[in-house]
Amino acid sequence: MTSTDPFSRLVCPDRPFRLVVTGGGTGGHTYPALTAIRELHARLAARGGSLDALWVGTSDGLEARVARAEGIAFRAVPTGRLRRSTSLVAMVNRDNLRDMARVPQGVAQARAVLDAFRADVVLSTGGYVAVPVGLAAKLTGAPLVVHEQTVRLGLANRVLARIASAVAVSSASTLPLLSAGAAERAVVTGNPVRPAVLTGDADKAVAGLGLSGFDRLLPTVYVTGGAQGSAQINGMVREILPWLLARANVVHQCGVVSLEVSRQYAESLPGELRDRYWVSDFIGTELPDVLALADVVISRSGAGTIAELTALGKPSVLVPLATSAGDEQVHNALHLQRAGGAVALVAERATAGELRREIEPLLVRHERRVEMAGAAARLGTPDAARRLVDVLLRVGSA
């Protein structure tokens, strides 16, 4: 390696590359950060270097549990959660005032952490805890990279984008939402997805889940409401299930709360339909194979879900969570619908009747599925983790 290599100092065997990650609260903020850490570790190791990563988050957040499970060093700092409302007056309440008072304390503690750690770069993936850590990065002079997962700008990243060294966005449609200065430092990377998601095998799903009653000449529909399930989606699907099973196989991840009622309903179905229906509260390591098997997906429209559907090129019918922060799931779903890669059932359209009307052409017309799959894939960035790590290395080596 020559001295002109811009990353030459990153592979010094005597000094690991130091990365601070902040962000969490939900899987949408947490798992892209984890994927970036894994990719950065692999990239540095391949060049003879090493990574020293520190995750800064909240003590009771998802990020703390994920960091511990992955063996990543973790430090907790206090932060405040802003409870949003359409009324400015309603936002001025005791809970918001109490939580906002914690932010200066969080900045002070985060600054002490960054002073001691001496990070080459700080990565923020959003969430309330990212604000004090991002502000501390500015105060200590540590380069800050902000990554936005949704097609809109989350509140934390909206604040931090103005002071960031680089802003990585998942969609070009986010660029006009940035300030002029932040837009000049922005790059479209996409939203990192777990590599395993891209390596699924449909035949393994059939064997692993025991789907012997499935008719492989029929399309397969995967229904999910996320890890906890969705009572709304479960109810809509249950209303049309006999009709649906006459035209498709169904893999249904319903969540633990709806499992018993879903199983009882399945038992009431005629035998030939019941054999084409598989229901469980949760799908774990088999998920990549289930996604490979699926011809159509019915789901929520969180940022991670959209990233996976587009990376895989999967047609979908999306039922956004109406209470998502800043209506981000609605914006995600409508963005994919405008591109032709999905159908969005928003507000009054989120009914069983509309679900049946919109999914029928996808089940009976293979060419319609192919068309929608292509449109979804054109928005996908399966190499998003590599692109984001490129930004981290560039900023960290400057």
Span 10-34, pLDDT tens digits: 556 678 999 999 999 888 999 999 9
Question: Can you point out the beta strands (E) in 27-110?
Answer: 51-57, 73-76
pLDDT for the residue 229? 87
Do 8-192+383-396 and 195-379 show the same overall fold? Answer: yes
**Vertex 376: Cα angle to 372 and 230 (nearest 5):** 90
Q: Which residues pair with 124 in a beta bridge?
A: 22, 146
User: By three-state DSSP, how is residue 78 classified?
Assistant: coil
Closest CA to 119 of 204, 54, 67: 54
**Extents of the domains making up the chain:** 8-192+383-396, 195-379
Which structure tokens are listed for 57?
């988050």
For 18, residues 6+ apart whose C-beta sits below 8 A from its C-beta are: 52, 53, 54, 117, 118, 119, 120
pLDDT for the residue 130? 94
Architecture in CATH for domain 195-379: 3-Layer(aba) Sandwich (3.40)
Q: Which residues pair with 277 in a beta bridge?
A: 250
pLDDT for the residue 9? 55
Instruction: In whole angstroms, give the CA distance from residue 53 to residue 57.
Output: 13
Question: Contact at 8 Å (CB) between 79 and 50?
Answer: no
What CATH number matches the domain at 8-192+383-396, 3.40.190.10, 3.40.50.2000, 2.30.31.70, 3.10.310.10?
Answer: 3.40.50.2000
Percent of the chain with pLDDT over 70: 91
pLDDT for the residue 326? 77
Amino acid at the residue 264: Q
Span 136-163, pLDDT tens digits: 999 999 999 999 999 989 888 999 999 9
Predicted TM-score (pTM) above 0.85 = yes
Span 176-232, pLDDT tens digits: 999 999 999 999 999 999 999 999 999 999 999 999 999 999 999 999 998 888 999
